[in-house]
Amino acid sequence: MNNHWIERARPSLQTLQPYQPGKPTEDLARELGLSSIVKLASNENPLGCSSAVTALLANPSIDLARYPDANGYALKEVLSSMHGVSMEQAVLGNGSNEILELIARAYAGPGDEIIFSEYAFAVYPIATQVVGASPVIVPAKDWGYDLEAILAAITEQTKVIYIANPNNPTGTYLSAKPLRAFLEKVRKDILVVVDEAYHEYVEAEDYQSMAPLLGSHDNLIVTRTFSKAYGLASLRLGYSLSHPQIADILNRIRAPFNVNSIALAAGVVALEDQDFVRASVQLNNEGLKHLCLGCTELGLDFIPSVGNFICVDFAKDAGPIYQALLHEGVITRPVANYKMPNHLRVTVGTEQENLTFMNALTKVMNQ
């Protein structure tokens, strides 16, 4: 077969590997004819979303024939008072994923370097490669970020540094003090993106959002998402907070109506229901303890996590275990694409889902 249309694509796209999503429940149901499936593959909220959002969707006053508010005024208003920033500092995205890519598109290109850590979120290398910039991958330390090594990797060509805090897929986090010290040391013309997708879940006392530092750091961008603790992954909604000029540039290059009206309205309602978020976090943190305990009992190591997922170490190729779990109706996430072939990432589910997983895992380990 000739590869004509592959070869005519921009050079950086010809070797691009697409993002590998978790296996959809529907796919497994179709393939194995299973009716009862537990999906613990994509760090979604097992409680669903706020009942205020489901009520809104059941009775929407949204006019589907009209374009959405391209500026997302109502949602930005809530975000601005929640974070104590101006509305001009917020950018809304079709998931925070879109914003992570907009940043690379706006500020880097061929000849530029973008730094991120080994085992960091898969969207960073994709965003880098799409714009033709060079990825600079800094070796991890104990599965987490080595901030000193990241500082040492900075060159004249560095344009952007991506930091996920906590990180996915490892679940590790950076405490506030070293991260703040890092921000002080990074050259002021380099953008530091602190991706706080799992912010809501973290209970460690030495963890802090970097959002309060926006006023004193022009080169800082903080991103958040509605896909995890808010349980709205399907609506695709995320946002960034930054210097207003960075927000201005990102808003120029995004699609004019990148966030739909339903997501905009749901976002407002979801932010108002912090009780739901608290319940989600509590369920998660109890479930996380149970999963850790269960793994320990099975003699399995894992990477200590502060997120809504945990990476379990099977000390051998985890592929066959992933497959065997599928046959038990449990979908986990292989992370071989992160060069972690011995691990599976498991999202914390409901109490029952966690139990189903542990039972399936016990069976599979004894096979």
Ligand X SMILES: *Cc1c(COP(=O)(O)O)cnc(C)c1O
| From candidates 238, 329, 334, 349, binder to ligand X by CB under 6 A | 238
What tokens were used for 282?
Answer: 């509590």
Residue 233 binds ligand X (CB under 6 A) = yes
In contact, 162 and 131? CB cutoff 8 Å: no
Does the protein bind ligand X through residue 118 (CB under 6 A)?
A: no
Stretch that binds ligand X, among 15-23, 32-40, 227-235, 249-257 (CB under 6 A): 227-235
Cβ proximity to ligand X, 89 vs 97, nearer residue? 97
Residues 42-61 that bind ligand X (CB under 6 A): 43
Q: Is 165 in the site for ligand X (CB under 6 A)?
A: no
Closer Cβ to ligand X, 231 or 329, answer by number: 231
Q: Least distance from C-beta 137 to ligand X, angstroms? A: 16
Query: Of 129, 227, 280, 347, which one interacts with ligand X (CB under 6 A)?
Result: 227
Reference 308, options 280, 332, 333, 271; nearest CA is 280
| Selected binder of ligand X within 89, 158, 168, 356 (CB under 6 A) | 168
Indicate whether 164 belongs to the interface with ligand X (CB under 6 A): yes
Mark 78-107 with x for binding to ligand X (rule: CB under 6 A) and - for no binding. Answer: -----------------xxx----------
Choose which of 50, 172, 225, 240 interacts with ligand X (CB under 6 A): 225
Q: Which is nearer to ligand X, 159 or 224 (CB)?
A: 224
Contact predicate 173/166, CB 8 Å: yes
Kindly tell me which of 243 and 333 has the beta carbon lying closer to ligand X: 333
Question: How far apart (Å, rounded) are the C-alpha atoms in residues 339 and 34?
Answer: 30
Contacts of 263 (CB under 8 A, 6+ apart): 226, 232, 235, 236, 237
Strand runs labelled E in the chain: 38-39, 90-93, 113-117, 134-138, 158-164, 191-195, 220-225, 238-241, 301-303, 309-313, 330-331, 333-334, 343-347
Q: Which of 121, 182, 201, 276 binds ligand X (CB under 6 A)?
A: 121
**CA atoms of 341 and 160, how far apart (whole Å):** 28
CB atoms within 10 A of CB 346: 26
Binders of ligand X in range 193-222 (CB under 6 A): 195, 197
Question: Which CB, 115 or 360, lies closer to ligand X?
Answer: 115
Residue 167 or 219: the one with the smaller Cβ distance to ligand X is 167
Distance of alpha carbon 341 from alpha carbon 109, whole angstroms: 31
* Beta-strand relationship, 134-138 and 113-117: parallel
- Residue 330, SS3 per DSSP: strand
Least distance between ligand X and beta carbon 165 (Å): 9
How far apart (Å, rounded) are the C-alpha atoms in residues 270 and 266?
A: 6
The residue number whose beta carbon is nearest to ligand X equals 95
Q: Which is nearer to ligand X, 49 or 360 (CB)?
A: 49
Residues forming contacts to ligand X in the complex (CB under 6 A) are 43, 95-97, 121, 164, 168, 195, 197, 225, 227-228, 233, 238
